[in-house]
Homo-oligomer: A and B are copies of this chain.
Amino acid sequence: MGRWEPGARERLVVAAVDLFTEQGYDATTVAQIAERAGLTRSTFFRHFSDKRELLVAGQETLSRLLADGVAEAPASATPLEAVAVGLERASAAMGPANRELGPRIKAAVAASTELQERDALKSVGMAAAMTAALVARGVPDPTAHLASELGVLAFKRGYARWSETDGDTGGLAACSLAALEDLRAATATLG
């Protein structure tokens, strides 16, 4: 396999994130995003309905994958074991484009209150999706909430380690599961 070559969708996301960082989310137009990506506006609209959707699309996919993994974990799985299956499922869908985007998204979010709000809502959506899937497994409410919060924290910490570390990290799944284990161990030290 040769060097990874991004497709149109990935090029649009990279261009958008870079423009959001340079000039802000509000000031960035669809025309500018398409131009930076070397594509036409009509290509943009084949992939996304608008600028906002470009940010939301990935989030909805991620929440669905996390919830699917939780739902399909063996019946004998503990709440955190079910969350771990969700993390593995979501991690498997993340490729080199996502790894490369990590630090860029971080810079864009740091530069924009609007993107901080989007990013915060993304975390809430991921937690809500896993909580609903855990409750459907019969996990009682406070445990389901807590397990899904640990899952979101683990995914974010794992993603940061994976995308900000050069060289072999063992992949996103390994990073997320290691972070989940760290958090599980930390529950014993809360007092």
**Chain B residue contacts of A113, Cβ below 8 A:** 121
Of A30-38, A85-93, A160-168, A179-187, the segment with at least 4 beta carbons within 8 Å of chain B is A179-187
Question: Is A49 part of the binding interface, using a Cβ–Cβ cutoff of 8 Å?
Answer: no
Question: Is A169 part of the binding interface, using a Cβ–Cβ cutoff of 8 Å?
Answer: no
In the complex, what distance in Å separates the CA atom of A13 from the CA atom of B108? 31
Give the shortest distance, in Å, between A46 (CB) and chain B (any CB): 24
Band of interface residues on A = 20 to 34
Q: Which A residues between 149 and 188 are near B, CB-CB below 8 angstroms?
A: 149-150, 153, 182-187
B117 touches A191 (CB 8 A): no
Question: Is A75 part of the binding interface, using a Cβ–Cβ cutoff of 8 Å?
Answer: no
Q: Which A residues between 95 and 134 are near B, CB-CB below 8 angstroms?
A: 113, 116-118, 120-121, 123-124
Q: Which of B124, B183, B191 contacts A80 (CB 8 A)?
A: B191
B186 touches A142 (CB 8 A): yes
In the complex, what distance in Å separates the CA atom of A118 from the CA atom of B187? 29
